[in-house]
Amino acid sequence: MNAVDLIESFSEFKEMKNIDRGTMMRIVEDVFRSTLKKKYGTDENVDVIVNPDKGDLEIWLNREIVPDNEVEDEAIQIALTEALKIEPDFEVGEEVSQEIKVKDFGRRNILSLKQNLQARLMELEKDNVYNKYKERVGDIITGEVYQIWKREILILDDDGNELIMPKSEQIPSDYFRKGDTIRAVVSKVDLRNNNPIIVLSRTAPEFLERLFELEVPEVFDGLITIKKIVREPGERAKVAVESYDDRIDPVGACVGMKGSRIHGIVRELRNENIDVINWTANSQLLIQRALSPAKITNMVIKDDSRVEVFLKPDQVSLAIGKGGHNIKLASKLTEYEIDVYREGSEDIDDVDLDEFVDEIDGWILDELKSIGCDSARSVLEISKTDLVKRTDLETETIDEVLKILKSEFE
């Protein structure tokens, strides 16, 4: 085997991993020098000449000519008699350059060379993948579903690099089959046992932000700024937008004519409802907008983290939303804990849920409060079917709660 054969044996690997020939030849030189250092104890008197254009290399060993009986180190010295066999007019003190053939390394060293070359190329490829995706965190990429497991799916990008998307980063209604094309945002890039782990996400707020940039030119150009995004993936999202140009309606631009711009995003997110609202630094106004489509009649901001809002009975369910998503997202968007009250809920014909603490477990009361129910009548106004859907309570538990609450008014 010669040097060219050894290098060309990696050509398929090189092309598959997108490593240019120049880089590969530098690696080859380093690997050969390492082997030569082990063989001769030093590589300082060795010339490794790489020719990237031809894809070959030459190795020359330079040694000083010394008298026959004064050779102390064959790696750097050569006896005069041996030198004269190479060139008849050599003299003591001159330098002899001899070409070393790969086949002279021996079978074991050649095998070691191959293994070192492959290891270095693999290491380079890992570094390239890590650095490439480290710079792309937060960017959307498109890949092909290659393997589906219970907890994650394996995705291949255009260069054949392996990316993963855990179940937790998938929209609950996502369904993929092998070969499907998928869009997701690069969530994080880690090194695990020196292997790059690229994690993709379709649930991250950044994914929705990138989709807006793709669908809304004003967002991409910076004329409209997305101030904050909160999501319940697959269910609902709230996007607060702002424009410094008074001529631009940020909400209208994001939604598009008859919803033309927002529809593409909604389809990508598996019919996730998206509320686009105007951002404001006025906390009271922001809370009012965040609870849309509900209409607030009164509001009392208790402190920097809690607010009480009062609504007409027919607006309460709108404020809470299906599954409580609307009020949860409004709280996240405004960074206020929002307590919803019906107007007139302090009347004598209603009872605060906390009054039932002796009959109903606290965790059950907390579950009812989480969907916006703060009084007995607010629970009774919701059908048993809806209570089961909107809470994590069992049907039997709901029946028992309704029985206790109804008895209060009998």
DSSP string, 362-385: HHHHHHHHHTT--BHHHHHTS-HH
Evaluate whether 143-202 and 204-279 have a shared fold.
no
Residues 6+ apart with CB under 8 A from 196: 126, 129, 130, 133, 189, 190
Q: Say what angle helices 325-334 and 313-320 make with each other, to 10 degrees.
A: 70
pLDDT band at 346 (very low <50, low <70, confident <90, very high): very low
What tokens appear for 47 in the block? 């010339």
> In this predicted structure, which of 3-7, 352-356, 404-408 has the lowest mean pLDDT?
3-7
pLDDT band at 186 (very low <50, low <70, confident <90, very high): very high
What tokens appear for 235 in the block? 């269910």
Top pLDDT among 63 and 226 is at 226
Place of tokens 């309460």: 316
Task: Give per-residue pLDDT as tens, 134-182.
Answer: 999 999 999 999 999 999 999 999 988 999 999 999 999 999 999 999 9
Does residue 230 surpass a pLDDT of 80?
yes
What pLDDT does residue 226 have?
Answer: 97
Cβ atoms of 234 and 272 within 8 Å: the answer is: yes
Task: Give per-residue pLDDT as tens, 76-96.
Answer: 778 888 888 888 888 888 888
- In Å, how far are 23, 202, 338 from 161, measured between CA atoms? 19, 19, 45
What pLDDT does residue 93 have?
Answer: 82
In the chain, what are the domain boundaries? 3-131, 143-202, 204-279, 353-408
Which CATH entry fits the domain spanning 143-202: 3.40.50.1240, 2.40.50.140, 3.40.50.740, 3.40.630.40? 2.40.50.140
Domain 3-131, CATH class in plain words: alpha beta
The alpha carbon torsion through 243, 248, 252, 255 (nearest 10 deg) reads -70
If you average pLDDT over residues 222-229, what whole number do you get? 96
Return the SS3 of 224: strand
Task: List phi, psi (to 5°) of 8.
Answer: -65, -25
> In this predicted structure, which of 63-77, 108-122, 337-351 has the lowest mean pLDDT?
337-351
Does residue 208 surpass a pLDDT of 70?
yes
Which CATH entry fits the domain spanning 204-279: 3.30.300.20, 3.20.20.370, 3.40.640.10, 3.40.50.1000? 3.30.300.20
Longest Cα–Cα distance in the chain: 124
Compute and round to an integer the Cα radius of gyration of the chain. 36
What pLDDT does residue 344 have?
Answer: 60
Place of tokens 């609450």: 405
Does residue 53 surpass a pLDDT of 70?
no
E strand segments, 288-346: 298-301, 306-311, 337-342
Return the SS3 of 141: strand
Cis peptide before 293 (omega within 30 of 0): yes
pLDDT band at 55 (very low <50, low <70, confident <90, very high): low
What tokens appear for 87 in the block? 């060139």
> In this predicted structure, which of 125-134, 253-262, 322-331, 370-379 has the lowest mean pLDDT?
370-379
If you average pLDDT over residues 18-24, what whole number do you get? 65
Q: Are strands 181-192 and 140-148 parallel, antiparallel or unpaired?
A: antiparallel
pLDDT band at 248 (very low <50, low <70, confident <90, very high): very high
What pLDDT does residue 15 have?
Answer: 53
DSSP string for 255-274: H-GGGHHHHHHHHHTTS-EE
Does residue 393 surpass a pLDDT of 80?
yes
Top pLDDT among 282 and 5 is at 282
Highest mean pLDDT among 85-94, 313-322, 394-403: 394-403
Using CB atoms within 10 Å of the CB of residue 168, give its burial: 0 to 12 exposed, 13 to 18 middle, 19+ buried.
exposed
Place of tokens 């060309």: 8
Q: How many CA atoms lie within 13 A of 61 on its CB side?
A: 22
**Which of 16-55 are b and which e, b meaning 16 or more Cβ less than 10 Å from the residue's Cβ?**
ebebeeeebbebbeebbeebbeebbeebebbebebeeeeb
Which run of H or of E encompasses 4? Answer: helix 3-8
